[in-house]
Amino acid sequence: MAHRMKKTKVRLLDCGCTEYRGGETCRIRTERAISKRNAAIKLIRKWMSTCSSSEASGVHTL
């Protein structure tokens, strides 16, 4: 995955465990969160606590 990402945590927002939480919902929330970075970080923490660390590290980039 050689995607160039901005230096933000947005790459984590696509939720590595979309299979468990429903990819569409995650993606919609992601798009909204990108415009509000503070909210984005909160969502990341929520997802990280739900996903196992191995799932979270294998996230899809936007």
CB-CB contact of 34 with 13 (8 Å): yes
Strand intervals (E) in the chain: none
Supply the pLDDT for residue 1.
46
**Average pLDDT of 32-41?**
64
**Average pLDDT of 12-18?**
47
Q: Helix 23-35 to helix 37-50 angle, to the nearest 10 degrees?
A: 150
How many structural domains does the chain have?
Answer: 1
51 by Cβ neighbours in 10 Å (0-12 / 13-18 / 19+) ranks as: buried
Q: What is the pTM of this model?
A: 0.25
- The range of the structural domain enclosing residue 39 comes to 9-57
Residue 31: inside a domain: yes
Is the predicted pLDDT of residue 47 greater than 60, yes or no? yes
Is the predicted pLDDT of residue 42 greater than 70, yes or no? yes
Residue 4: inside a domain: no
